[in-house]
Amino acid sequence: MRILVVCGAGASSTFVAQRVRHAAHDQGLPYSAFAGTEQSLPIDLDAADVVLVGPHLVHALERIERDAARRGTAVVLLPADIFTDLDGTRTLALVHEAVGRTGAGVSAAPSAEQDARQEED
């Protein structure tokens, strides 16, 4: 599964992506997680099965959900206290809830671009 974490500038989403990636790895799940910004979303969305939206982007949620729905991608608005989820397990549980609710597609293999992004993290 490919998980995109979106925030305004990409800084906080990088931390969340790292944590959820580690939590998935610790659970033996072949998930990838990568960070994006509101501006990069139109491009990044094509590579994601699930989009985790930073709480400060609630103003853009309706547009993000509309764009994601066209691709069959699940969207989760992260709670305001998500940055206290230091091991990523709570965030990963939100991903599982969203996938179960929407039946979003699952892809175990990250793209080469995602692999490169993960190495930068």
| 19-46 average pLDDT score | 94
- Annotate 24-90 with DSSP letters as a single string: HHHTT---EEEEEETTTHHHHGGG-SEEEEPGGGGGGHHHHHHHHHTTT-EEEEPPTTGGG-TTSHH
Domain range for residue 64? Answer: 2-120
The tally of domains found in the chain comes to 1
| 105-118 average pLDDT score | 40
Token duo for residue 76 = 């989760």
CATH code: domain of residue 32: 3.40.50.2300
Structure confidence at residue 11 (pLDDT): 73
Q: Are 91 and 12 in contact (CB under 8 A)?
A: no
Q: How confident is the model at residue 102 (pLDDT cuts 50, 70, 90)?
A: low
Distance CA 87, CA 100 (A): 22
Which candidate, 101, 55, 51, places its Cα nearest to that of 78? 55
